Amino acid sequence: MSLSTIGKDVPQVTARAKVLGRAQYAGDIKLAGMLHGKVLRSPYPHARIVRIDTQAARALPGVKAVLTGADAPRTRWGVHHKERLILADGVVRFAGEEVAAVAAVTEEIARDALDLVQVEYEELPAILTPDEALDEDAPGVHPGRNNISHEIRFSRGDVDAGFASAHVVHEATYQVHSQYPGYLEPMASVAMMDPDERLLVWTSTQSVFLARARLASALELPASRIRVVQTTTGGGFGGKLVEDANNLIAGLLALKTGKPVRLVNNRLEDFLACCSSVPETITLRMGLDRDGLIVAKDVRIIAECGAYSGLSAEVMHVSAMRSDNMHRLHNVRSHATLVYTNNPPHGAFRGFGGTQMQFALNSHIHTMAGLLGIDPVQVHLRNAIGAGETSVHGWKIGSTGLAECIAQCTGAIGWDAKRTRAKGQGTRRRGVGMAAAMHVSGNRTIGNWDGSTVTVKVNEDGRVIVNSSECDMGQGAMTMFSQVVAHELDIPLSHVHVLAPDTDTSPFCIGSLASRVTIVAGNAAIVAARAARDKLFTLAATLLNAPVDQLEMRAGTVCVRGEPARKSSLADLVRQHIWRHGGEGIQVSGSWDAQTVMHDDTVYGNVAPAYSFAAQAVEVEVDTETGQVTVLDSFVSDDCGKAFNPQAVHGQSNGAAAQAIGWTLYEQLQVEGGRLVNGNFADYTMPTADGLPHLRGGIVESNDPNGPYGAKGASETAILPGAPAIANAVFDAIGVRFTTLPITPEKVLAGLRAQTQEQRHA
């Protein structure tokens, strides 16, 4: 009987350490002589730094360093543009920008030292909206250039002819806002100089090697003089990728003091420092024929990156073109513009630009289906791209469960019956809505490599150590590695241990982004495990006097197929593999790189080895007296190719649905005059248990030909359809279409008043 757990519900292999309080987060690390870091941030969205007086702070007993921009390297860091200093020098460009950093023997002294740093500012005019930024007379947020950070333009087919042939054409503008990642663990790092005067950084991150590259560049050090170790990471959602300055400042303080330094954001600091999702204004024009087929699509996007571009350009790229690939389109056109303002920076967030565009697209499809008198489900199904097809941007669809996802979620919600029922009596009205989406599973855009390397070491007791630098940030990467290797070697899951990513000892990997870890690193783990198995088979063939092709792994042994008594344990084989002439331990490496291509200058190219799909149906109740929208029921269907661990997929998909509900109905960063005014969980309203329905979900297994055992990315796609599904359900309930998020009670009441006035004048 196989010991494999593939396809079975298993607890996360990291769960026990976490629930027992044994998992070590960066904030838990304590080292001899460790100092505590704190950061002074700008109170102004735009100002010139006239003078900084650190004398009193430096004189405070227990303070070991007070650093300003003058003490930091001059090399600028960033992703799309290198434009940001570790500590501001001369000018601050957003309220919250890092101006000074202190290190002291206690956190309390460090906080006191911040109060003693005297900064004289000359406040400058701030650009706070994209409209202001795009004004031809507006000064540049960054000197010597206009306020356009990035532009994307492309056109395929004959868009104008497509619109001319359409039976119905609809245009609308949608506005989406920023969302804070809301992870439980705020950003935290511990940095120290090791005995060899190399910088060692423990940090909460989604990519140790991207973190090392940024540290090396910003601190002007060779990469080999830096070691980055991922600590247990309490959620990331894109916010812990490459856009925060926490580990840079911790590293700088450690370099300057020669002491270990711990820098842990409190929640307000994390709100100020972490990039929130990119706000966008999307104008969408689409044409449909009589049957609901999309014949033309034209998109205009104005996106805001804030004071620094970070990953916002890449996010906008996704908004501009990814959703095109879920449909059989021929005529598409897009023009997207990313602009600077003096607001806090925006960047990566779960769904990575897909949430923004899918809100607009799915709302649009629902509206146009109504104009044609067609069920929106049918519009989705008639346009859905199929397996084996190539999309308008050159994406090759190896598998898709989109139609099955739509059928599953709408069936679960009772779509047909509830759409035709009465909407309710009195002040409470009910409605249903649905939406569909796609996402990448892997992405060849950072450079011409979208691969991974995994090493497998079989110990003398027959147990296995797996080493990879793909990060587990709570999504279950370590469990996935354990399942794959245990499956290939047919050993218990508990006999596999996955090491934490460490740039000194782990093979180079890109990290947790673009839903790539399961498909890319999962395939690499299969390669490595099979290489270990081959070494075991080669030795066992001699010891058991049997051909290699007659051997099999069975419950921690290698045995002769059909003769289970002729066997040798993995432990015996490993020991004998070492203790012989020319022997060695069994340690192998496996790599896998997707057979994909980077897109060209017209954004054409098959960038991912697989593509994931999802659909969601919801039922809402709208209180027409208070404007409150309540989600009564939700069902998310996630096409993950093959569910290694259904329990984990359901958990992650439901978490995605909860984040989508929060973005749609509750969460909104309140920025007044460029300053964040609700940077805490008391004032930044996130959905709690009583604000969520019983979250239901289902899995669709489309078995991708490129995926490990058919698997591809799970759960990130599941965040995409939530907002439009809710907006469509609200429209179904009260007949008011909301094109701006969040859908607050105030907006609902205003919409109902406007509806009443229109009816009176009709």
pLDDT at residue number 595: 93
Two structure tokens written together for 18: 């976490």
**Rounded distance between C-alpha atoms, residue 124 and residue 737, angstroms:** 40
Residue 446 confidence class, pLDDT cut points 50, 70, 90: confident
pLDDT at residue number 715: 82
> In 3D, which of 151, 57, 21, 732 has the Cα closest to residue 410?
732
Residue 658 has pLDDT above 90, yes or no: yes
Q: What is the mean pLDDT of residues 22-50?
A: 97
Q: What is the mean pLDDT of residues 107-122?
A: 98
* Edge-to-edge order in the sheet of strand 91-92: 91-92, 47-53, 118-123
Residue 426 has pLDDT above 90, yes or no: no
Provide the mean pLDDT of the chain: 97
Cis, bond preceding 376 (omega within 30 deg of 0): no
**Rounded distance between C-alpha atoms, residue 663 and residue 722, angstroms:** 9
Q: Looking at residue 139, what DSSP letter applies?
A: P
**Rounded distance between C-alpha atoms, residue 192 and residue 202, angstroms:** 9
The model scores a pTM over 0.85: yes
Two structure tokens written together for 377: 């489900």
Q: What is the mean pLDDT of residues 400-411?
A: 98
Residue 580 confidence class, pLDDT cut points 50, 70, 90: very high
Two structure tokens written together for 152: 């994307």
Contact 114, 344 (CB under 8 A): no
pLDDT at residue number 80: 81
Two structure tokens written together for 439: 């996402």
Q: Torsion over CA of 539, 540, 543 and 546, rounded to 10 degrees?
A: -120
Two structure tokens written together for 561: 């197929």
Strand partners, 436: 615
pLDDT at residue number 425: 78
Q: What is the mean pLDDT of residues 522-544?
A: 97
695-700 and 629-639 as β-strands: parallel, antiparallel, unpaired?
Answer: parallel
Q: What is the mean pLDDT of residues 181-210?
A: 97
Q: Looking at residue 186, what DSSP letter applies?
A: P
pLDDT at residue number 762: 73
Q: Find how far residue 206's CA is from the centre of its chain.
A: 9
pLDDT at residue number 182: 96
346-347 and 276-277 as β-strands: parallel, antiparallel, unpaired?
Answer: parallel
Residue 745 has pLDDT above 90, yes or no: yes
Two structure tokens written together for 512: 């947790």
**Rounded distance between C-alpha atoms, residue 612 and residue 440, angstroms:** 6
Q: What is the mean pLDDT of residues 247-251?
A: 98
Residue 422 confidence class, pLDDT cut points 50, 70, 90: confident
Q: Half-sphere exposure (CA, 13 Å, Cβ side) for 254? A: 28
pLDDT at residue number 424: 81
Residue 324 confidence class, pLDDT cut points 50, 70, 90: very high
Residue 526 has pLDDT above 90, yes or no: yes
Residue 749 one-letter amino acid: L
Two structure tokens written together for 311: 């990953």
Which domains are present in the chain? 26-124+184-235+240-273 (3.90.1170.50), 277-444+600-761 (3.30.365.10), 451-593 (3.30.365.10)
Q: What is the pLDDT of residues 120-155, one digit of tens each?
A: 999 999 999 999 999 999 999 999 999 999 999 999
Q: What is the mean pLDDT of residues 462-467?
A: 98
Contact 456, 588 (CB under 8 A): yes
Sequence-separated (6 or more) residues with CB below 8 Å from residue 52: 68, 99, 100, 117, 118, 119, 120
Contact 728, 366 (CB under 8 A): yes
pLDDT at residue number 423: 85
Residue 686 has pLDDT above 80, yes or no: yes
Residue 393 has pLDDT above 80, yes or no: yes
DSSP per residue, 102-126: EEESSHHHHHHHHHH-EEEEEE---
Strand partners, 81: none
Q: What is the pLDDT of residues 715-734, one digit of tens each?
A: 899 999 999 999 999 999 99
Residue 1 has pLDDT above 80, yes or no: no
